[in-house]
Amino acid sequence: MKYKVDTHSHTIASTHAYSTLQEYITVAKQKGIALFATTDHGPDMTDAPHAWHFINLRIVPRVVDGVAILRGMEANIKDEFGEIDCNDRMKEELDIILAGFHEQVFSPKDRETNTRAMVNAMKNGIVHIITHPGNPKFPIDIEAVAEAACKYNVALEINNSSFLHSRVGSDVNCRAVAQAVKDAGGFVSIGSDSHIAYTLGNFEKSLEILKDIDFPDERVLNHSPATLLNFLESRGMVPIPEFEYLK
């Protein structure tokens, strides 16, 4: 398996997801996934875990059975100022912060407003990855978002689940997002957005798009554990000694 890193997964802590962290670790081991991020929904989302879920992630071991685990959140972009539902206390405990639009928290607006909200979320300096920016329900100025992502060193996600279960019509937008990121010289990520452990590390559709447009491997965060860890460190993460073997 070429890509051994998954940056996007949900456990039963979000009740519309169906696997425990241990089940994810088991599947990761079976599939040869070296590193994955557990990224349950930020507390403002319907059926998301309480803030304590994120604060207490520090009790999760860094490495279990040879699988390394990043402590994360998929936060919600709340308004056009780019506010997200991850406060300083939660942020302190997290290694990786994803953020995206979810209708329950931010109802779709016009293209300009959506774009402003997304760009401000990146500008605020907390977010590492914008999830499913290709969602057709939230039209954005793709070029402007890709340029801002490059400027603020934020990755845009080509979300594999968008092609399978949800966010119908993402295909054309995701191709445009990948192309715009390539042109701007930024990073993409290819999260599985798993809501059940079996799909961890499934990126076929996302990889198809990247291959079609000849996207450079080294600009894909999931290319290797070192690529992701170096990116997070470039964004201020203190190096994690237990992960040194991954570099």
Residue whose beta carbon is closest to Zn ion = 193
Q: Compare residues 6 and 74 and give the one whose CB is closer to Zn ion.
A: 74
Token pair for 112: 């300009």
Count other C-beta atoms under 10 Å from residue 115's C-beta: 21
Strand boundaries in 51-143, DSSP class E: 63-64, 67-76, 96-100, 129-130
Q: Compare residues 175 and 195 and give the one whose CB is closer to Zn ion.
A: 195
Do 189 and 158 meet the contact criterion of CB atoms below 8 Å apart?
A: yes
In the block, tokens 């993409």 appear at: 188
Least separation in angstroms between residue 164's CB and Zn ion is: 13
Least separation in angstroms between residue 135's CB and Zn ion is: 8
In the block, tokens 């997002």 appear at: 177
Do 67 and 34 meet the contact criterion of CB atoms below 8 Å apart?
A: yes
Q: Compare residues 45 and 243 and give the one whose CB is closer to Zn ion.
A: 45
Residues that bind Zn ion (CB under 5 A): 74, 100, 131, 193
Q: Compare residues 197 and 243 and give the one whose CB is closer to Zn ion.
A: 197
Relative to beta strand 63-64, strand 67-76 is antiparallel
Least separation in angstroms between residue 76's CB and Zn ion is: 9
One-letter amino acid at 73 equals: M
Least separation in angstroms between residue 8's CB and Zn ion is: 6
Q: Compare residues 131 and 170 and give the one whose CB is closer to Zn ion.
A: 131
Burial (CB < 10 A; 0-12, 13-18, 19+), residue 165, is exposed
Least separation in angstroms between residue 12's CB and Zn ion is: 14
